[in-house]
Amino acid sequence: MYLLNRKQRHAVNYTWMIISLLLVAFLPFLLFVGLYIKSVLLIHDYSLVDLIFSKTWKPASGQFGFYPFIVGSIWVTLIAMLITAPICLLTAIYVTQYTKKYILRIMHPAIDILAGLPSVVYGLWGILVIVPFISRYLGPWLDIKTMGYSILAASFVLSIMIIPFVLNILIEIFRAIPMELKEAALSLGATQWQTIKHVLVKKALPGIIAAFGFGLARAFGETMAVLMVVGNVVRLPKSVFDPGYTLPALIANNYGEMLSIPKYDAALMFAALLLLAVSLFFNLVMHFFIVRFNKY
């Protein structure tokens, strides 16, 4: 019947599994090595501290300071998370603990549609809605001069973009908590809010952190929507109403152009390396917290 006998088939399947595993395990490592080799030209000529903390970005005269991009990326990401995290957490708690079940059934397709929209659509929406809102209303109202294309606009757009992802995970996490745990807390005389605050959120904490970490990683790497509204000005932003520049936008805007400038190619690769390193760092911190809170 078969070309191979049972033992041989086992060996073949087993080998493939090992190969797939190794591939997945080594992929990040290979990426890292690849980017390092491509950017080694830059790293050898400048000190790492100079590259990361220097503020001057003049490729034509050989000055590569990544600080404005790093700061821009971190600002945009963190403000986006500050907006997203409470909205998602409260929404997830509300739809899983307070509302009737059919609300969740209605919400799920809506969330999925939001999650499936291409990022360029979010970027357009940012240009058409958020940017004018900031330049015409929010800025004047706070007596701040801004052209709208700013860190804040990027944060707004990003936060809306990652809400569906984070929210979907959070809803699943809260739904996975057994009803009996809730009943146990209520039977002790806890109110619904006490049950949520002291028991459910605590139980879900590792998952909540993982969801936020996932959102953070997505936000940090998001390219298109951000570069459409962030302003793309290489300058250290002094407030959230200033325009900025992010690492992914730097790569996307410039790769393939101006490659005649010496080391420009290597500099962009170094930006990618930085992105990878920061993502790795976020991941490690996230894992630390997950392990820390996962003992219950």
Partner 1 sequence: MDQNTKIEIRDLNVFAGKTQILKNINIDIPKNKITVILGPSGCGKTTLLKCLNRLTDLYPELKVSGKIMIDDNNILAAKEDIYKLRQQMGLLSQRPYPLPMTIYNNISYALKLRGIRNRRETHKLVMHYLQQANLWDEIRTRLREPASRLSIGQQQRLCLARGLAVNPEIILADEPTSALDPISSQFIEETFVKLKHDYTIVLVTHVLRQAKRIADNVVFMYLGDVIEQGSVEEVFGNPKMEKTKLYLGGTFN
CB nearer to partner 1: give 116 or 178. 178
Which of these, 108, 104, 60, lies nearest to 254 by C-alpha position? 60
Smallest distance, Å, CB 207 to partner 1? 12
DSSP helix/strand/coil, 296: coil
Interatomic CA distance for residues 293 and 290, integer angstroms = 5
Task: Tell me how far, at minimum, the Cβ of 188 lies from partner 1, in Å.
Answer: 5
Backbone angles phi, psi at 147, to 5 degrees: -95, 0
- Secondary structure (3-state) at 192: helix
183 binds partner 1 (CB under 8 A): yes
User: Terminal CA-to-CA distance of the chain, rounded, Å?
Assistant: 52
Q: Output the DSSP codes for 29-52.
A: HHHHHHHHHHHHHHHHHS-HHHHH
Among 41, 87, 127, 186, binds partner 1 (CB under 8 A): 186
Q: What residues between 62 and 101 interact with partner 1 by CB under 8 A?
A: 100
Contact 76, 153 (CB under 8 A): no
> Which C-beta is closer to partner 1: that of 136 or that of 197?
197
**Exposure string over 136-158, b if 16+ CB within 10 A, otherwise e:** eebbeeeeeebebbbbbbbbbbb
> Which of 76, 152, 185, 272 touches partner 1 by CB under 8 A?
185
Decide whether 162 or 199 has the Cβ nearer to partner 1.
Answer: 199
| Residues within window 190-209 making contact with partner 1, judged by CB under 8 A | 190-191, 194, 198-199, 202-203
Min dist CB 258 to partner 1, Å, is: 55
Task: Give the x-and-dash track for 99-138 against partner 1 (CB under 8 A).
Answer: -x--------------------------------------
Q: Residue 96 Cβ, how far from partner 1 at the closest point, in Å?
A: 13
Residue 269 near residue 40, CB atoms below 8 Å: no
Looking at beta carbons only, is 137 or 193 nearer to partner 1?
193
Radius of gyration of the chain (CA): 23
Residues within the interface to partner 1 (CB under 8 A): 100, 178-191, 194, 198-199, 202-203, 295-296
